[in-house]
Amino acid sequence: MKDSSLPSLFRPKILVVDDLYANRLSMRHVLTGLRVELIEADSGNAALAACLEHEFALILLDVQMPGMDGVEVAQLLNGEESTRDTPVIFVTAGSTDDMDRLKGYDVGAVDYITKPLNPPLLSAKVRNFLDLYESRRALKAALAALDERNLALQREIEERKNAEARAQQLATHDALTGLPNRLLFVDRLASSIQRARRNGTRFALGYMDLDGFKQVNDEYGHRAGDAVLQTIATRLQAHVRESDTVARFGGDEFALIFEAIHDENNCADFCTELRGQLSESVVVPLQDGEISVAVGVSIGLAIYPAHGASADRLMHNADCALYTVKRNGKAAVRVFRPEDDNGLVAVVGEQGVGKLSSPDFARRISRSRG
């Protein structure tokens, strides 16, 4: 009669340890009806060697053996982590007093059975321990599957976090230079206003663009133009403080926030030095080698709160100051003056001279013409 409670492909192993072949044969006959793999050992040393090679669901261990007896074997098995939880049934030659049983339990025995063997009793005991072994195996497999699932969930969470971080990076940073884009810059500007208002400090908002950048694109292509923009972005980040903000609005337009400045003259002097560093030659790659090009830098500054207490006013006035620089010959730094915002500015286009109410659009037309 086969035991149908266990998986059909798995055969639990039982170790039978007895120095007498007749005893081993007797237990073999009793256990043959169970779907198990029997391994036999005729000594304590042979039993220990078998435990090194196999995982057993149960060990039937004769107590009285020459040399190393069953109690010594059980002690050694109980001392090893790999075999500590393997159930051991002591097989004794006769009745065992309580003290001997306590000693056996102390070294890891879980039950006793006496000779001559009672086949139904032995079979029932073995079946119980096989059921327990299978339950433990199922629990171990479930825990392993749970651990694997937890690891998979952790990986999935990490991947989602990375994806969200990448999405956030793409949403708030310029793809070419890695600088904050207009969206993030406006948010930083709002924070700067709140901080300066709370602390009673000043900061400067700068608008900057590159002089002659269009000619680089037209003559050498957009790959060269991209190299120039990336180099300028790197130089900007290297020369401003960590507390400052550098952003790219698109094309050759950049914006800057200089936190906690002392005064406008000091900030203008710093921007003049910065303009010189940014105007140094840039090596750009071409299909047949590389060349060195130089672009100029123009910067318009507006100071909080002197030139505006709101983000819109500061951005407008910095833009006006930059437009004045471009109109007056480029390649300079200018702090906003009231006359920069003259309401109506003349723009010369292909259709003649016209009037615009905002310098922002006029500056873009002027910039597009070089």
Domains with residue ranges and CATH for the chain: 13-142 (3.40.50.2300), 177-342 (3.30.70.270)
**Assessment of whether the complete model's pTM goes beyond 0.85:** no
CA distance 70 to 64: 6
Residues of the chain with pLDDT under 50: 1-7, 344-358, 361-370
Q: What's the confidence (pLDDT) of residue 288?
A: 84
57-95: pLDDT as tens digits: 999 999 889 989 888 999 899 888 888 889 999 998 766
Q: What's the confidence (pLDDT) of residue 40?
A: 94
Which residue spans within the chain are E strands per DSSP? 13-17, 37-41, 58-62, 88-92, 109-114, 203-211, 245-250, 253-258, 282-286, 289-293, 296-304, 333-335, 345-349, 352-356
Q: What's the confidence (pLDDT) of residue 8?
A: 52
Nearest CA to 341 among 313, 306, 311?
313
Q: What's the confidence (pLDDT) of residue 360?
A: 53
Task: Examine residue 305 and say whether the peptide bond preceding it is cis (omega within 30 degrees of 0).
Answer: yes
